């Protein structure tokens, strides 16, 4: 199976980050309980995921403040993942300027908001990019994606989700023992 994560983490036969079967007691999502869970993949990556999220949060704080406080006049803060000019101003790539001009000249474009979960086509293609075109999970509609604002925004939204999934999986394991 082809995946952008293939070189980082070996994909399981059915590459699903976590699959939980929930039964809702009410319509309110806070009243659910897990009736089943697929854990082999979780068991292999839980430590990796938590370390990655914690490392990103820790490094970002340390690097941002270290760069800010560094007295060296020739420094470059690469922690934000944004391009800058030699003067330290944000660099707008030429391809971005051209795209902005095309959008500005397209009268069919408006400034309307996307749905709360993002652009549907973007979400669908992101799942295929990460899990592979031939993913059974994608084909069987077992993958849910949402679009977040920026890499930092995605990490901010992703960390609590991963921690909650790990916590619930640990509870389920404890209940099954």
101-113 residues labelled b (16+ CB within 10 A) or e (exposed): eeeeeeeeeeeee
Helix (H) or strand (E) holding 33, with range, is strand 32-38
**Residues 144, 125, 9, 13: is their CA dihedral positive or negative?**
positive
Q: Which of 170, 177, 176 is nearest to 47 (CA)?
A: 170
Q: Which of 129, 146, 127 is nearest to 137 (CA)?
A: 127
Phi, psi of 67 (to 5 degrees): -70, -45
Tokens representing 137 are 């999970």
8 A C-beta contact, residue 135 and residue 145: no
Give pLDDT tens digits for 101-151: 998 999 888 778 888 888 888 888 888 888 888 888 888 888 888 888 777
Whole-prediction pTM value? 0.43
Give pLDDT tens digits for 18-61: 333 333 344 444 433 333 333 444 444 455 555 555 555 555 56
């Amino acid at each position: 199976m082809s995946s952008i994560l293939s070189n980082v983490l070996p994909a399981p036969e059915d590459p699903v980050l976590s699959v939980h079967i929930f039964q809702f007691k009410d319509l309110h999502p806070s009243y659910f309980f897990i009736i089943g869970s697929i854990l082999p993949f979780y068991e292999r990556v839980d430590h990796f995921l938590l370390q990655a999220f914690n490392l990103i949060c820790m490094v970002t704080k340390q690097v941002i403040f270290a760069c800010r406080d560094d007295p060296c006049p020739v420094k470059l803060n690469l922690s934000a993942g944004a391009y800058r000019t030699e003067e330290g101003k944000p660099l707008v790539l030429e391809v971005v300027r051209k795209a902005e001009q095309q959008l500005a000249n397209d009268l069919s474009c408006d400034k309307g908001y996307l749905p709360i979960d993002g652009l549907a086509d973007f979400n669908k293609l992101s799942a295929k990019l990460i899990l592979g075109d031939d993913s059974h999970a994608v084909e069987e509609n077992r993958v849910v994606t949402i679009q977040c604002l920026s890499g930092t925004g995605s990490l901010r939204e992703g960390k609590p989700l991963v921690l909650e999934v790990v916590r619930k999986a640990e509870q389920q394991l404890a209940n099954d023992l």
